[in-house]
């Protein structure tokens, strides 16, 4: 793929029939069980699809293709001028194909041209989709039909992503210096100060300041640590999705995440803030 025609493409198999996967990518309550916490879905051609992560990010799209159980295509405006007073469009396609109760989901995110202004978004979605689609697979194969509870803290810092990750993984923080080098299915363990341990098996650790794992000691929940350079600062996410247990238990992790990021990064020039 040349730089003048960039697109991101990936596929994975999910142990669920196409109709179930289709619901999970088109119905608001279903999407909120594995992806963005707040969703607006108007399931028809011309309808809106809005994914929102609190005040951190809102992704608004228009549905261009809606073929139940087969193909969903959305369009949204990029940050790149089209030279006619608008923005160049980008497209997200979900293609579904099922065999014997297994669905092959193929995602194509396209429209990225050669302009350097596309680079940050292309890098972001290339790193983000492999994580999010694994979250979809985990939801459908282990927790289908169940709402999740989230502990989610985010902040920004002027430190580089590498320096940020080193500070997060240090012994007085998550106590997990080898987290980023973990291999898929390998065991992991992190310590949330003042709360307790999250441990299980690695789901995705591409070695790019990104980690996600299956939290086996939290009823097969989803744990994620994310550091990414975005708009002149490093954005940090600590994320835990739990489908069983009590809200009080999840709130303990929420407070632990908040306090950890405040202690590690509040003094940095970019500041820190909680997003729930």
In the sheet with 57-67, reading across from the earlier edge strand, the strands are 6-14, 102-112, 87-99, 71-81, 57-67, 48-53, 38-41
Q: Which pTM value belongs to this model?
A: 0.92
For the 3-142 domain, the top CATH level (class) is alpha beta
What are the tens digits of pLDDT across the range 252-270?
999 999 999 999 998 544 4
The pLDDT value recorded for residue 18 is: 97
Mean pLDDT of 140-166: 95
Minimum mean pLDDT among 30-34, 93-97, 112-116: which range? Answer: 112-116
**CA atoms of 134 and 77, how far apart (whole Å):** 26
Q: Assign residue 209 a region (left: φ > 0; alpha: ψ between -120 and 50; beta: otherwise).
A: left
What are the tens digits of pLDDT across the range 227-253?
988 778 999 999 999 999 899 999 999
Whether the CB-CB separation of 243 and 221 falls below 8 Å is answered with yes
Mean pLDDT of 126-150: 96
CATH number for 149-265 (one of 3.40.50.300, 3.30.530.20, 3.30.930.10, 2.10.10.90): it is 3.30.530.20
Mean pLDDT of 27-32: 98
Stated length of the chain: 276
What are the tens digits of pLDDT across the range 73-88?
999 999 899 889 899 9
Whether the CB-CB separation of 234 and 259 falls below 8 Å is answered with no
**CA atoms of 32 and 109, how far apart (whole Å):** 21
**CA atoms of 80 and 116, how far apart (whole Å):** 9
**CA atoms of 96 and 100, how far apart (whole Å):** 13
The pLDDT value recorded for residue 4 is: 54
Secondary structure element (H or E) that encloses residue 137, with its range = helix 119-142
Mean pLDDT of 184-198: 96
**CA atoms of 87 and 118, how far apart (whole Å):** 12
**CA atoms of 129 and 148, how far apart (whole Å):** 20
Domain boundaries, the chain: 3-142, 149-265
Between 132 and 273, where is the model more confident? 132
Domain 149-265 in the same topology as domain 3-142: yes
């Amino acid at each position: 793929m040349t730089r003048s025609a960039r697109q991101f493409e990936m596929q994975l198999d999910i142990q669920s029939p196409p109709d179930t996967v289709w619901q999970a990518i088109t119905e608001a309550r279903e999407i909120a069980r594995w992806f963005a916490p707040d969703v607006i879905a108007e399931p028809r051609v011309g309808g809106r699809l809005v994914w929102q992560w609190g005040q951190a990010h809102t992704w608004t799209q228009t549905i261009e293709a809606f073929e139940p159980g087969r193909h969903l295509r959305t369009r949204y405006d990029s940050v790149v001028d089209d030279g006619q007073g608008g923005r160049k469009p980008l497209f997200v396609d979900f293609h579904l194909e099922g065999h014997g109760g297994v669905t092959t989901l193929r995602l194509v995110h396209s429209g990225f041209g050669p302009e350097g202004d596309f680079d940050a978004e292309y890098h972001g979605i290339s790193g983000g989709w492999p994580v999010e689609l694994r979250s979809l697979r985990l939801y459908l194969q282990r927790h289908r039909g169940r709402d999740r509870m989230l502990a989610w803290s985010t902040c920004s810092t002027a430190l580089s992503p590498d320096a940020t990750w080193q500070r997060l993984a240090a012994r007085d923080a998550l106590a997990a210096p080898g987290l980023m080098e973990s291999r898929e299915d390998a065991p992991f363990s992190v310590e949330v100060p003042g709360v307790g341990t999250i441990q299980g098996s690695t789901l995705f650790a591409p070695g790019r300041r990104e980690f996600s794992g299956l939290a086996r000691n939290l009823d097969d929940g989803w744990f994620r640590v994310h550091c990414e350079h975005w708009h002149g600062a490093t954005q940090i996410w600590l994320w835990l999705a739990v489908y069983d247990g009590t809200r009080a238990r999840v709130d303990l992790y929420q407070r632990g995440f908040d306090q950890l990021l405040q202690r590690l990064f509040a003094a940095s020039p970019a500041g820190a803030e909680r997003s729930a």
